[in-house]
């Protein structure tokens, strides 16, 4: 398989317990992955003090929060969460796949997997 090409529909992964993640690419400066939600699943509001991030809605429908604003978004919408601004998924309204880009990439966990979305600011 090529190191450079991926299909969202083949990479997406879901869990009945909680939102699931799929890592796609990680460079020195940028990480790209998927956040995958079944209807009703959430991602707590959090912030990255030193990383810019965006979500792109590949499929589905969800209520996303950035800063003081919460909006229902669907396929083809982009959500920007610059460094320091709290963001999260209040609730997926149906099965939803979000493409996520984070720069710089999250630090590697002990298992070598980027600790995406789990770094929390004390005041987030």
User: Binding string, 36-75, against its own copies, x = CB under 8 A?
Assistant: --------------xxxxx-x-x-------xx-x-x-x--
Residue 9, helix vs strand vs coil = helix
The only residue of 15, 18, 30, 109 in contact with its own copies, by rule CB under 8 A: 30
Six-digit token string for 22: 């799929």
120's CB contacts (< 8 A; 6+ apart) are 44, 46, 47
Q: How far is the CB of 94 from its own copies (least distance, A)?
A: 17
Q: Which is nearer to its own copies, 10 or 17 (CB)?
A: 10
The only residue of 1, 7, 16, 112 in contact with its own copies, by rule CB under 8 A: 7
Please name which of 66, 60, 97 lies closest in space to residue 80, comparing C-alpha atoms: 66
Q: How far is the CB of 39 from its own copies (least distance, A)?
A: 20
The only residue of 15, 39, 83, 118 in contact with its own copies, by rule CB under 8 A: 83
Please name which of 81, 76, 74, 90 lies closest in space to residue 53, comparing C-alpha atoms: 81
For position 1 contacting its own copies by CB under 8 A, the verdict is no
Beta bridge partners of 95: none
Ramachandran bin of 60, using left for φ above 0, alpha for ψ from -120 to 50, beta for the remaining angles: left
Where do contacts with its own copies occur on this chain (CB under 8 A)? 2-9, 24-25, 27-30, 32, 50-54, 56, 58, 66-67, 69, 71, 73, 76-83, 85, 99, 101-104
């Amino acid at each position: 398989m090529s190191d450079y090409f991926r299909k969202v529909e083949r990479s997406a992964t879901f869990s009945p317990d909680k939102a699931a993640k799929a890592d796609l690419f990680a460079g020195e400066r940028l990480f790209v992955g998927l956040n995958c939600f079944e209807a009703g699943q959430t991602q707590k509001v959090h912030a990255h003090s030193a990383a810019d991030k965006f979500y792109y809605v590949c499929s589905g429908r969800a209520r996303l929060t950035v800063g003081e604003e919460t909006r229902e978004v669907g396929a083809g919408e982009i959500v920007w969460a610059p460094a320091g601004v709290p963001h999260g998924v209040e609730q997926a309204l149906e099965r939803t796949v979000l493409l996520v880009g984070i720069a710089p990439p999250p630090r590697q966990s002990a298992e070598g997997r980027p600790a995406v979305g789990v770094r929390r600011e004390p005041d987030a």
